[in-house]
Amino acid sequence: MRRIAQVALLLVAHLAIAAFPIVFAQIPAVTLKLAFDALQAGEADKALALLTPLPTSGQGAAQTQNLICRVQFTLQQWDLAVKACDLAVHLDPTNAIDHMWLGRALGEKASRASFLSAYSLSKRVRSEFEEAVRLDPRSADALSDLGEFYKDAPGIVGGGTDKAEAIAAQLDKVDPAKAYDLRGSIAVSRKDYVSAERDFKQSIAVSPHPAQQWTRLANFYRGRQRWDEMEAAIRNCVSAAARDKHPGVALYDGAGILIETSRDPALAAKMLEDYLAGLSKSEEAPAFIARVRLARLKQQLGDPDGAKREFAAAATMAREYNPAQDSKH
């Protein structure tokens, strides 16, 4: 009996010791907040330095992996982003945000894959977006992502404009501006350009932050090669952003349109400078990429010293980012 009691005591001790890592594996919320803030500021290296040492299990681990995925997403490292978001979904399968970001990462990977790989990846993209919407039917971002997938994807992987229209109807109740944006995109896919222009303009009219919607209209005009109207829409974007304390990524996106079309580099540079100086920096418009683009514009405008400063600043923010990846040269 004494021997049994000793074994029992040892077993209890081992179980108690084993429980300690679970307790201490809880990830401090302040660390995750600092990493999130670094991500939004475009400080990819700082965010990864905070996140990568953290445990992959325990409280906060799913959020950690989601943030790692999103940092890798800004760095355009799609395989690593998929890996981290896969783990986040495994750790917390009921989190709509995790499923949405996994869908986004898979979508970027699919767009660069071979035909057969893209086919299987696209089905996973649809599944993740649909799950995100199922878990959070009022997420405007998840609905928009799913609607854009349905609009672009062929029927063989579950796409279809009829499905996209149904998502637009759901968006009407959540975010009317995004609903009009989606309808405009659907109309473009059908080559119904009159309806598309009307929908993009209506999106501007109903949006509380119309600067971003002006860039959608400008991009529509770019596709139709209506250059004067495109530039006018960009100028309206700048005006709307100046009146809005939270213009979001409109200045970044508008500058990107000007860069793609080789128009008004001085205005594009000013828009990027204003974006970088403002308080609305976002992972959707990584600051290190904005600095790379600004550096190229400064070279074009005859300011080599300014270009060097911007390239150097970008490198300190994201050493793993390869500027050659940026499609907007």
Burial of 105: CB neighbours in 10 Å, binned 0-12, 13-18, 19+: buried
15 versus 40: the higher-pLDDT residue is 40
**What is the arithmetic mean of pLDDT over 241-256?**
94
CA-to-CA dists, residue 99 to 25, 74, 86, 129, 282, angstroms: 24, 17, 8, 7, 20
Burial of 315: CB neighbours in 10 Å, binned 0-12, 13-18, 19+: middle
24 pLDDT more than 80: no
Token match 């540079």: residue? 269
Average per-residue pLDDT in the chain? 92
Q: In the chain, what's the furthest Cα-to-Cα distance?
A: 93
28 pLDDT more than 90: yes
The phi, psi pair for 66, rounded to 5°, reads -60, -45
Question: Has residue 214 been placed in a domain?
Answer: yes
d(CA 122, CA 264): 37
Burial of 311: CB neighbours in 10 Å, binned 0-12, 13-18, 19+: middle
Give percent above pLDDT 70 in the chain: 92
d(CA 157, CA 261): 33
**Two structure tokens written together for 37:** 């803030």
The closest alpha carbon to 70, from 81, 59, 79, belongs to 81
193-198-200-204 Cα dihedral, nearest 10 degrees? 160
> CATH no. for residue 286?
1.25.40.10
Question: Has residue 277 been placed in a domain?
Answer: yes
pLDDT tens by residue, 180-226: 999 999 999 999 999 999 999 999 999 999 999 999 999 999 999 99
58 pLDDT more than 50: yes
Write down the pLDDT at residue 8.
38
Question: Has residue 228 been placed in a domain?
Answer: yes
pLDDT tens by residue, 272-292: 999 999 999 999 999 999 999
197 versus 16: the higher-pLDDT residue is 197
Are the C-beta atoms of 148 and 182 separated by less than 8 Å?
yes
CA-to-CA dists, residue 282 to 7, 148, 289, angstroms: 57, 21, 11
**What is the arithmetic mean of pLDDT over 12-18?**
36
d(CA 107, CA 157): 13
Write down the pLDDT at residue 326.
84
Helix (H) or strand (E) holding 106: helix 96-110
Band of pLDDT at residue 329, cut at 50, 70 and 90? low
Band of pLDDT at residue 25, cut at 50, 70 and 90? low
Helix (H) or strand (E) holding 182: helix 176-189
Domain that holds residue 220: 208-329
82 pLDDT more than 80: yes
Are the C-beta atoms of 96 and 132 separated by less than 8 Å?
yes
Cβ neighbours of residue 165 closer than 8 Å, sequence gap 6 or more: 183, 186
Band of pLDDT at residue 247, cut at 50, 70 and 90? confident
**Two structure tokens written together for 328:** 């907007």
Are the C-beta atoms of 79 and 67 separated by less than 8 Å?
no
**What is the arithmetic mean of pLDDT over 3-17?**
37
Burial of 16: CB neighbours in 10 Å, binned 0-12, 13-18, 19+: exposed
pLDDT tens by residue, 225-242: 999 999 999 999 999 999
Q: How many distinct structural domains can be found in the chain?
A: 1
Write down the pLDDT at residue 22.
40
11 pLDDT more than 50: no
Helix (H) or strand (E) holding 32: helix 29-40
5 pLDDT more than 60: no
Lowest pLDDT segment from 22-26, 64-68, 121-125: 22-26
The 3-state DSSP class for residue 210 equals helix
Question: Has residue 263 been placed in a domain?
Answer: yes
Question: Has residue 189 been placed in a domain?
Answer: no
Band of pLDDT at residue 176, cut at 50, 70 and 90? very high
Question: Has residue 75 been placed in a domain?
Answer: no
Question: Has residue 170 been placed in a domain?
Answer: no
Cβ neighbours of residue 198 closer than 8 Å, sequence gap 6 or more: none
Helix (H) or strand (E) holding 102: helix 96-110
The closest alpha carbon to 188, from 176, 204, 199, 177, belongs to 199
Question: Has residue 183 been placed in a domain?
Answer: no
57 versus 246: the higher-pLDDT residue is 57
The 3-state DSSP class for residue 122 equals helix
